[in-house]
Every structure is written in structure tokens, then in C-alpha cells.
Amino acid sequence: MTTLKTWVTVPHNSDFSIYNLPFGIFSVNGDAPKAGIAIGELIVDLEAISELGLISVDASYFKQKTLNEFISLGKKITNKVRLDVQRLLTIENSPLKNHSEVFVSQKDAKMHLPVHVGDYTDFYSSIEHATNVGKMFRDPENALLSNWRHIPVGYHGRASSIVVSGTDIHRPMGQVKTNDMEVPVFKTSGNLDFELEMGFVVGKSTELGERVSTKQAAEHIFGLVLFNDWSARDIQKWEYVPLGPFLGKSFASSMSPWIVTLEALEPFKVQGPEQQPEVLSYLKYEGEHNYDIQLEVGMSSESSSETTISRSNFKYMYWNMMQQLAHHTVNGCNLNVGDVMASGTISGKDESSYGSLLEISWGGKKPFELKDGSKRTFIEDNDTVTMRGFAEKDGKRVGFGQVTGTILPSK
Ligand code: MN
């Protein structure tokens, strides 16, 4: 990685270094939302720099509530915009130095969902997570189902309830039936959980009937976000047989507002775990497609400051994004720009790296403590869950900021 130096003040350890430059949608003072790029504690207003004639994409693409139309221009153009902004933020005689109005403080901005999500798919690609869940709910000796090492298992989620970081979530209600009950009851979920995930945003559409190979898949991925797939375990447990997750998942998922491009993450690629048995040919891939992204989950309550309850890493994923995309389209299912595909809960090998409370409290049997000494097994009302993630190499950091959400009582 060449060393770049920006003339903008970027705090040490900022997720939004000159190497990152993620895209998002922001608004100031209740004005219409528009597109920007994050640098340090600032946002570069893309509409404004387009109007100054400093980038080649028309300002109308940035004067939008979502990035979908901009992303649809294709990577050749979107990458050029990012690199042009990088150049404007690094060159000595930058014209932006005389245009302070193109910079907005992130403190003054409200962030919005960056894309219109037409479809959302959730995978189940962490072998550690799938093994833990299998041990708890099925057979401790034979935790993985027989299809797991052959198929990147997934389900179609609900796109309408995907919200941007900072949005409060009401505790869901639903049908619950525990083993000691004869019949189900209707109640507020008592086992509310988070899932530490990363999601990718589809950047190139396909036609119905078209397949995307693992080799072509990167062209179809615009970038990544942090993703919290909130889950009501008690509702999920009763409803999921035989067709899979439904209302225990569809009440909300939260995503971070800044989309970090696949190109910005290029230096952090690592080899994924060995896949045994050998996968079918359409799932084979060449090169490195896992990413070394450090992840953490913090939990706070009305009485307790934030406690870090998990540290994991995106590099643990058994199935990579290229395989997920190849599998998703192998039957000819079409993709649309803005679709979100999430990884599934990202757990590591040991207890400190589990990506859900289901695993951390082992099904509610092992309470853990917040900083003020209060105990938790699942999320209580007014608790806040915050996920963070960043990649770092040779002192160069590319991060995601955070995805946070507070659970309010049921409506
Ligand atoms: Mn999930």
C-alpha cells in the first residue's frame, strides 16, 4: 500500500482514514438527504464538489435519498469518484482548500440508510456459530447438519425493516412455546438477541436466469457494512420448523451508515479456512477472499456504561462472499443494485469471540455481567448494543464506524 498523506485533520485511529473514503447518505438541519464521503470527522459533500466541476459524475446522482442510482453507474465510475476525492484530499494545491463549504462535520449530520434495499438475504456462514447452535438445539456430537459443508446455507430475510444505525427498536411480540407448555402463548419476546454480522451491498444487477461465477462475483459487490440481525430466540425456536426463520427475525435489522468499498478493503484480504470435503465446482474459487476485519460488540444499559462482550473477526467465515454470491445466483435468481446479503453471525473459536447472546449465555444458562455488576442472559428493555469493526495493517486503518441500537419496550 502506498503511503498517502491528506491535508485534512484526521484523528489518530480514525476509521475514516484517507485509505477508506466510504460512501453514505447524510442530511444537515433537516435539508434533503444527499451523498457524501467520510474523511476523519468530516463528510465531503459530493453534490457540492460535482457542482464545482471537480468530479466527472453529474450532481444529480448525489442529490438523492439513496446511493442506488450512483452505484448503478458501475465500478469504473464509482471507483474513479472515490480516487478523484482521494486525490483532491491529498494534493498540495487542492482546489478544495478554498472551498470549506464542501465539508460538513459528522457531528452536525444525520445519517440515513445508504441504499434502498430491495431484497435482503441472510447467510449462516460461520462454522463456529453453526456448530454452537447445533450443539445447543440438536446433537452435541453431530452439531453440523449434513448439508452445511456443501451449501452456503441462507434464507430470504425482510428488507422493509432494515434500519440505519441509531434507530430504536421496539421489543417484538409473538408466539412462544417452551417445552413445558402444552400450547403456545402470545407474549413479548423474553429472549431478545443480536447477531454480529457483516453485510455486502450488491453493486451490479443481473438478469433472471444469469449465473455469477465466484470469479465474477467481486464485480457485483459494491461494498460492506456492519450488520446487526436482531433475533427473538423464543419466537424463532417455535416458528422455524420446517421453513426457517420468519417473525423472530423480520422485526428489525440494523446497518451501519457508511459503505466501505471492496476496493478499500483489498489490502486486508486473507486466506479463508480450508473447506473439507471439497466443494462442488461452481463454489470453487481462486485467490484470497476472506477479510481480516476486527469486530467487537459492546452492551450498555440505563445503569451501566458500555461493556465489551465479544471480540470476533470477519476472517473466520467458512464461506466467503464470492461463494455466497455464486450460490445465490446458481439457480438464475436475479440480483438488483442495493440488495443486501449478510454473512450470518460471525463467531470465533472461543467464548470471548461469540457473535450472539445465544452463544455467550449458552442458551440463557450462563449469565454474564455488565460493568455495573448487573447480569444479563438476553437483551433487556433500554439496553443498547453497539458493534464496531475495522481493518488495520502497517498502521493504515480502514473502519466501519459503528452500528448501534437501543431496545425499547413493546409498543
Ligand atoms: Mn442472522
Structurally, the chain folds into a number of domains equal to 2
Residue 192 sits in the same domain as residue 225? yes
Of 86, 152, 85, the closest CA to residue 344 belongs to 152
Same domain, 165 and 189: yes
Q: Which amino acid is at 130?
A: A
| Those residues with Cβ within 8 angstroms of residue 83's Cβ, 6 or more apart along the chain or in another chain | none
- All three cell numbers of 310, joined, read 465479544
Residue identified by cell 481462486 is 286
Cβ–Cβ under 8 Å, residues 382 and 408: yes
Residue 2 domain-assigned? no
Give dist(CA 192, CA 198) in Å, integer: 20
Digit-coded pLDDT (tens) for 141-157? 899 999 999 999 999 99
Distance CA 298, CA 63 (A): 35
Q: Of 70, 41, 56, 87, which Cα lies nearest the Cα of 261?
A: 70
pLDDT surpassing 90 at residue 300: yes
Q: Smallest Cα–Cα separation from 175: which of 246, 239, 250, 245?
A: 239
317-342: average pLDDT: 98
**The predicted structure's pLDDT at residue 2:** 85
Using the 3D structure, point to which of 84, 112, 140 is the last residue of a domain. 112
In this prediction, residues 51-57 reach a mean pLDDT of: 97
Residue 1, pLDDT score = 74
Please check if 392 is assigned to a binding site: no
Annotated ligand binding at 158? The verdict is no
Region label for 180, one of left (φ > 0), alpha (ψ between -120 and 50) or beta (otherwise): alpha
* Within a domain: 12: no
Domain of 79: which CATH number? 2.30.30.230
DSSP string over 337-385? TT-EEE------SSGGG-SBHHHHTTTTTS-EE-TTS-EESSPPTT-EE
Task: For residue 355, give Cα distances in angstroms to 10, 161, 184, 236.
Answer: 30, 21, 29, 17
Q: Which of 87, 112, 137 is the last residue of a domain?
A: 112
Distance 162 CA to ligand 1 centre (A): 12
Please name the helix (run of DSSP H) or strand (run of DSSP E) that holds residue 249, with its range, or none.
Answer: helix 247-250
Together in a domain, 78 and 145:
no
Residue 117 has pLDDT above 80, yes or no: yes
Distance 196 CA to ligand 1 centre (A): 8
Is 98 within a domain? Answer: yes
> Could you tell me if 308 and 347 lie in one domain?
yes
Residue 112, judged by CB atoms within 10 A of its CB (0-12, 13-18, 19+), counts as middle
Q: CA–CA separation, 134 vs 314, rounded Å?
A: 21
Within-domain flag for 343: yes
CB atoms closer than 10 angstroms to residue 255: 29
Residue 308 lies in a domain: yes
Q: Can you tell me the mean pLDDT for 370-395?
A: 97
The confidence score (pLDDT) of residue 352 equals 97
Ligand 1 geometric centre to CA of 357 (Å)? 12
- Residue labelled with grid coordinates 462475483: 217
Q: Are residues 135 and 241 in the same domain?
A: yes
Q: pLDDT of 241-272, one tens digit each?
A: 999 999 999 999 999 999 999 999 999 999 99
Residue pair 84/54 in contact by the 8 Å Cβ criterion? yes
Q: Residue 280, by phi and psi: left (phi above 0), alpha (psi -120 to 50) or beta?
A: beta
Please give the backbone phi and psi of residue 209, each rounded to the nearest 5 degrees, phi first. Answer: 95, -15
| Residues that are catalytic | 129
Measure the CA–CA gap between 255 and 198, rounded to whole angstroms. Answer: 9
101 and 242 fall within a common domain:
no
Instruction: Tell me: do 331 and 378 sit in the same domain.
Output: yes
In terms of domains, do 313 and 339 share one? yes
Quote the domain boundaries for residue 361.
Answer: 120-408
pLDDT at residue number 289: 98
**Please, where are the H alpha helices in 162-224?**
none
Decide if 1 is inside a domain.
no
Q: Is the pLDDT of residue 138 over 90?
A: no
124 marked as binding residue: yes
| 3-state secondary structure (DSSP) of residue 248 | helix
Cα 105 to middle of ligand 1, angstroms: 33
Beta carbons of 258 and 224 less than 8 angstroms apart: no
Q: How many helices (H) and strands (E) does the chain have?
A: 9, 26
Prior bond to 367 cis, omega within 30? no
**Side-chain half-sphere exposure of 248, counting CA atoms within 13 A:** 24
Do 108 and 137 belong to one domain?
A: no
Q: How close is the Cα of 17 to the center of ligand 1, in Å?
A: 29
Q: Which amino acid is at 35?
A: A
* Other beta carbons less than 10 A from residue 93's beta carbon: 5
Show Cβ contacts of residue 266 under 8 Å, excluding neighbours closer than 6 positions.
Answer: none
Could you tell me the pLDDT band of residue 196, with boundaries at 50, 70 and 90? very high
Q: State the amino acid at position 333 in one-letter form.
A: C
Residue 18 CB neighbours (<10 A)? 21
pLDDT of residue 139: 87
Whether residue 175 is annotated as binding a ligand: the answer is no
Q: Same domain for 320 and 276?
A: yes
Q: Is 229 annotated as a binding residue?
A: yes
Same domain for 359 and 336, yes or no, is yes
Average pLDDT, the chain: 97
Q: Which residue has the cell 459528522?
A: 106
CATH of the domain at 291: 3.90.850.10
- Same domain (yes/no): 124, 106: no
- Residues whose CB falls within 8 Å of the CB of residue 373, separated by 6 or more in sequence, listed in order: none
The per-residue pLDDT for range 30-52, each reduced to its tens digit, is 999 999 999 999 999 999 999 99
